[in-house]
Amino acid sequence: MAKNNVKLMQGNEACVEGALAAGMKFFAGYPITPSTEIAEISSLRLPKVGGKFIQMEDEIAGMAAIIGGSLAGLKSMTATSGPGFSLKQENLGYAAIAEVPCVIVNVQRGGPSTGLPTSPAQGDIMQAKWGTHGDHPIIALSPSSVRETFDLTVKAFNFAEKYRTPVILLTDEVIGHMREKIEIPSPDEIEIIDRVQPKSGLEEYKPYEVNEDQLVPDMAPYGGEYRFHVTGLVHDETGFPSNDSNVAESLLNRIMKKIDNNIDDIALYEEYKLEDAEVAIIAYGSTARSAKSAVDMARAEGIKAGLFRPMTIWPFLDKQVTEVSKKVDNVIVAEMNLGQYVIEVERAGNKHTKVSKCCKANGQLITPDEILAKIKEV
Amino acid sequence: MTSTLVENHFRIGKLPHIWCPGCGHGIIMRSIAVAIDELGYDKNDVCVVSGIGCSSRAPGYMDFNTLHTLHGRALAYATGVKMANPDLKVIVITGDGDCAAIGGNHLIHASRRNIDITTVVFNNNIYGMTGGQYSPTTPTGEKGTTAPFGNIDRNFDLCNLAKGAGATYVARSTAYHANMVKQQVKAALENKGFSFVEAVSICPTYYGRKNKKGDAVSMMEYLKNSTVNVKAADKLPKEKLEGKFLVGEFYKSEEPEYTEEYKKIIDSFQKER
pLDDT under 50: residue ranges of chain A? 1
Task: Provide, as residue numbers in chain B, all residues whose Cβ is less than 8 Å from the Cβ of A69.
Answer: 80-81, 83-84
| pLDDT over 90, % of chain B | 97
A54 Cα to chain B: minimum distance (Å):
8
Quote the pLDDT of residue A1: 47
Contact A240 B78 (CB under 8 A): no
Domain with B249, as residue range(s), is: 4-272
Residue among B70, B87, B262 whose CB faces A90 most closely: B70
pLDDT band at B273; cut points 50, 70, 90: low
Quote the pLDDT of residue A200: 95
A3-189: CATH number: 3.40.50.970
Residue A74 touches chain B, beta carbons under 8 Å = yes
Question: The domain that contains B154 carries what CATH number?
Answer: 3.40.50.970
Contact B66 A228 (CB under 8 A): yes
Task: Provide, as residue numbers in chain A, all residues whose Cβ is less than 8 Å from the Cβ of B69.
Answer: 64, 67, 94, 232
Beta bridge partners of A26: A52, A76
Task: Express each pLDDT in B167-211 by its tens digit.
Answer: 999 999 999 999 999 999 999 999 999 999 999 999 999 999 999
What residue of B is the nearest CA neighbor of A49? B266
A3-189 and A270-377: identical CATH topology: yes
Residues of chain B contacting A, Cβ within 8 Å: 14, 43-45, 47, 49, 59-60, 63-70, 73, 76-85, 87-88, 105-106, 108-109, 262, 265-266, 269-270
Task: Provide, as residue numbers in chain B, all residues whose Cβ is less than 8 Å from the Cβ of A92.
Answer: none
Above 90 in pLDDT, residue B270?
Answer: no
Task: Provide, as residue numbers in chain B, all residues whose Cβ is less than 8 Å from the Cβ of A48.
Answer: 269
Task: Provide, as residue numbers in chain A, all residues whose Cβ is less than 8 Å from the Cβ of B49.
Answer: 68
- Residue ranges of domains in chain A: 3-189, 270-377
Quote the pLDDT of residue A3: 58
Above 70 in pLDDT, residue B251?
Answer: yes
From the list A136, A144, A83, the residue with the least C-alpha distance to A108 is A83
Domain A270-377 has CATH 3.65.10.10: no
**Please, what is the average pLDDT of chain B?**
97
Task: Provide, as residue numbers in chain A, all residues whose Cβ is less than 8 Å from the Cβ of B265.
Answer: 47
Contact B262 A221 (CB under 8 A): no
Task: Express each pLDDT in A188-243 by its tens digit.
Answer: 999 999 999 999 999 999 999 999 889 999 999 999 999 999 999 999 999 999 99
Above 50 in pLDDT, residue B65?
Answer: yes
* Number of domains within chain B: 1
Is the reported ipTM for this assembly greater than 0.85? yes
Q: If you write DSSP's letter for every residue of chain B in order, what string do you get?
A: ---HHHHHHB-GGGPSPSPPTT-SHHHHHHHHHHHHHHHT--GGGEEEEE-SSSGGGHHHHBSSEEEE--TT-HHHHHHHHHHH-TTSEEEEEEEHHIIIIITHHHHHHHHHHT-SEEEEEEE-SEETTTT-EE-TTSPTT--BTTBTT---SPPP-HHHHHHHHT-SEEEEEESS-HHHHHHHHHHHHHSSS-EEEEEE---IIIIIHHTT--SHHHHHHHHHHSEEEHHHHTTS-HHHHTT-EEEEEEEE-----HHHHHHHHHHHHHHH-
A207 Cα to chain B: minimum distance (Å):
12
Residue among A26, A72, A227 whose CB faces B43 most closely: A227
Contact B44 A68 (CB under 8 A): no
Contact B45 A94 (CB under 8 A): no
pTM over 0.95: yes
